Amino acid sequence: MPTTKDFKDVTGQFSPSDLDDVAIFDEKGAYVFDEGAVKARPESPQVYEKGTWCICKGGNQLILTNGPAITVYDIIRLEENSLILQLHRTKEEVADTYLLTYQPF
């Protein structure tokens, strides 16, 4: 498992409207990403993404499907009160790895 020393904390770069977003995963395999209480713009939809999810690869990956878009996360930790995911992204030959931590509210 990667340690936090391997990553730079960029939470401070997010706006308050991003920090209160809510990810909801239901038992039927559907998910939604919700704006939470604070929106960046009042006219923004409350739910800004929805699709299906599955835990695959022997419990080691979370795969989100939103229409034709598929996002694959490596599951670093999945516990009752914590979900830690790792996301690898490459754009224009620049590779980044994100460590995302989710907790219930």
Q: What is the pLDDT of residues 29-64, one digit of tens each?
A: 999 999 999 998 999 999 999 999 999 999 999 999
Q: Are 49 and 66 in contact (CB under 8 A)?
A: yes
Q: Is the pLDDT of residue 7 over 90?
A: no
Averaged confidence pLDDT in the chain: 89
Task: List helix spans (H) across 1-105.
Answer: 16-19
pLDDT at 6 over 70: no
Tell whether the model's pLDDT for residue 1 goes beyond 70. no
Q: Find the domain containing 51 and state its range.
A: 12-102
5 part of a folded domain: no
Q: How many domains does the chain fold into? A: 1
CB within 8 Å of 60: residues ≥ 6 apart: 74, 75
- At 10 the pLDDT is 80
* Number of neighbours of residue 23 by Cβ within 10 angstroms: 14
Residue 6 lies in a domain: no
The whole-number average pLDDT for the span 14-31 is: 92
Nearest to 23 by CA among 74, 69, 85: 85
Task: Please state, as a whole number, how many other Cβ atoms lie within 10 Å of the Cβ of residue 10.
Answer: 9
Sheet order of strands, 47-56 included: 22-25, 30-34, 47-56, 61-66, 69-79, 82-91, 94-102
